[in-house]
Structure 1
Amino acid sequence: MARMDHDRLCAEIVTQTELLVSTVKDADMTVPVPSCPGWNVGQLLRHLGGGQRWAADTVRTRAAEPLPDDHFRDLSPYADEDAAVLAPWLAEGAVRLAGALREAGPEAELWTPVPGRTVSFYARRFAHETLIHRADATLALGQEFTVGRDVAVDALDEWMELGSLPMMLDIKPELRELLGPGRTVHLHATDTSAEWLVDLTGDVIEWRRAHEKAAAAVRGTLTELLLLVYGRRSPAGLEVFGDGELLDFWLERVAFR
């Protein structure tokens, strides 16, 4: 499957937000979110909506440096939210972000937290940030989480790309502990042809779409694999082959919240 283009990613921000809004309609906003310890559903939505607005302002102003983000990091003021208030606020923020991204175009230059410095980063990052936080809320509320195959593949690709950036070894020095001879991890989606190989045998983390033997392998649906690498589920219940301890060690070190 090809990488999703800019217009599709912009649309996906709105689509995933609309699905999230539908999920939380009439829900108790004080329900804890196990995958985001310390947050309840209302706080999760404030974090996501605040992040979307922050990204919209970053894109709209072509910010040359990071804008203040305390408003969606400190969630203590949002412990007792009202779904009837949050839902339209969240939906409006997604539309605002998608509009800013479309108006700017994917190649416009601005500050980004990783190399690249183009608007395309924010379109892809927030499409999948919204997707994963939709998963957080959906699972916390005891509902079934589903996602289209092309979206899940692109989200997994983006996760691989971000996690293998050399700068991540400096940001998270513990990732260096993963590197060593013979250390490879294979992810195999059972409901499509998508497969990934994570190569930890060199000086940096590398990955590729490939069907190759590995020291550790895990098989599951695309949705299960997506939730697995994002730390939203454990390998329990999935097919694991080879070095299960390596798989667990890798998942613990690469946790992405």
Structure 2
Amino acid sequence: MGIPSYERRCAEIINQTALLTAALEGADLRVPVPSIPDWTLNQLLRHLGHAHRWADVMLRERLPEIDFSRNGAHHLSSYVGEQASVLIPWLREGAASLAEVLRSVDPDEMIAPVEGHPGPRVWSRRMTHETAVHRWDALNALGLPFDLDPEIAQDTLREWTGLAVPYAFTRWPEETAALVGTGTVHLHATDAEAEFVIDLTGAAPVVREGHEKADVAVRGPVVDLVLAMYRRRPVEGLEVFGDRALLDLLVRGVRF
């Protein structure tokens, strides 16, 4: 099972949004989101839609760097009492527009780059997985079942290890300081070809794909590994071998 293509990710932004909005028909958007306690479902949906639009405008305007000032995804206090019938088309339009601009640019152009990587490639992946994880948040809040294509799930885990972990060290050094020089963590999916080792022994994390001995290893279905690393489910119920305290420190220290 390989890395999803750029085109697959563009399509998946639309697909994940469609799966999410299909669950919203007639939903009460006032319900709290247990995985993000400060938000209602209404606010979660506005957060996601604004994230799509933020990436969209940076790509359309071909910004040479990320402009955090234009990200409205965390200004959510005004979104109260909206109807699903309003937000469903708004979410779908934003996802379609983002996919359109991603398809219109060179994937390797340095537009809004992230950590030195071409923006279109990073944002196609980032918004695929942002949408998938927040779809879980929404379905969980509504008490509905969630599933995720294993090919997409293993790439969600790959992105978390390869982008979220080093990004957290750069952007929130105080929160990740306790991880510096600690040890190695092995994530092993039991139902997909996804194994990653996060080496924390140096000043900055190094990620390797493949199987190797580590200070702590965690095994389980790939979707469960994704949800655990994103703090959406507890580690309990997964197989953990070795230094559990190091695993807990990693999960607490990395946010995305």
Shift of residue 250, structure 1, vs aligned partner = 1.3
Name the residue aligned to 1:27: 27
Separation in structure 2 between the aligned mates of residue 42 and residue 4 of structure 1, nearest angstrom: 30
Name the residue aligned to 2:126: 125
Over 3 Å counting, the alpha-carbon distance change for 1:4 and 1:236 in structure 2 is same
Separation in structure 1 between the aligned mates of residue 192 and residue 126 of structure 2, nearest angstrom: 23
Aligned runs of 1:43-122 on 2, under 5 Å?
Answer: 43-65=43-65, 66=67, 68-69=69-70, 71-122=72-123
Shift of residue 164, structure 1, vs aligned partner = 4.1
Over 3 Å counting, the alpha-carbon distance change for 1:72 and 1:171 in structure 2 is closer
Q: Secondary structure at the match of 1:119?
A: helix
Aligned runs of 1:117-196 on 2, under 5 Å?
Answer: 117-165=118-166, 168-173=168-173, 174-180=175-181, 183-196=183-196
Q: Is 2:212 the counterpart of 1:218?
A: no
Q: Secondary structure at the match of 1:187?
A: strand
Tell me whether 74-83 or 107-116 shows the greater mean CA deviation: 107-116
Aligned runs of 1:214-253 on 2, under 5 Å?
Answer: 214-253=214-253
| Matched residue type, 2:186 | H
Uncovered stretches (5+) of structure 1, i.e. residues with no partner: none
| Matched residue type, 1:60 | R
Q: Secondary structure at the match of 1:24?
A: coil
Q: Percent identity?
A: 44
| Matched residue type, 2:189 | A
Over 3 Å counting, the alpha-carbon distance change for 1:176 and 1:67 in structure 2 is closer
Structure 2 contact 164–255 (Cα < 8 Å) conserved = no
Q: Secondary structure at the match of 1:72?
A: coil
Separation in structure 2 between the aligned mates of residue 184 and residue 217 of structure 1, nearest angstrom: 9
Separation in structure 2 between the aligned mates of residue 20 and residue 108 of structure 1, nearest angstrom: 30
Q: Secondary structure at the match of 1:135?
A: helix
Separation in structure 2 between the aligned mates of residue 79 and residue 69 of structure 1, nearest angstrom: 22
Shift of residue 176, structure 1, vs aligned partner = 2.8
Structure 1 contact 164–204 (Cα < 8 Å) conserved = no
Q: Deviations over 1:45-98 (max 9, x none)?
A: 111111111211111111234164353321011122211111111011100110
Separation in structure 2 between the aligned mates of residue 247 and residue 56 of structure 1, nearest angstrom: 35
Shift of residue 163, structure 1, vs aligned partner = 3.0
Separation in structure 1 between the aligned mates of residue 144 and residue 114 of structure 2, nearest angstrom: 33
Over 3 Å counting, the alpha-carbon distance change for 1:72 and 1:193 in structure 2 is closer
What CA RMSD, in Å, does the superposition of the two structures yield over aligned residues? 1.7
Displacement over 6 Å in runs of 4+: none
Tell me whether 155-164 or 63-72 shows the greater mean CA deviation: 63-72
Structure 1 contact 58–67 (Cα < 8 Å) conserved = no
Separation in structure 2 between the aligned mates of residue 131 and residue 9 of structure 1, nearest angstrom: 11
Separation in structure 2 between the aligned mates of residue 110 and residue 194 of structure 1, nearest angstrom: 29
Shift of residue 254, structure 1, vs aligned partner = 1.3
Shift of residue 113, structure 1, vs aligned partner = 4.2
| Matched residue type, 1:237 | G
Structure 1 contact 13–98 (Cα < 8 Å) conserved = yes
Separation in structure 1 between the aligned mates of residue 110 and residue 203 of structure 2, nearest angstrom: 31
Name the residue aligned to 2:201: 201
Separation in structure 2 between the aligned mates of residue 129 and residue 172 of structure 1, nearest angstrom: 19
Tell me whether 154-163 or 105-114 shows the greater mean CA deviation: 105-114
Separation in structure 2 between the aligned mates of residue 10 and residue 105 of structure 1, nearest angstrom: 13
Structure 2 contact 50–71 (Cα < 8 Å) conserved = no
Number of aligned positions between the proteins:
254
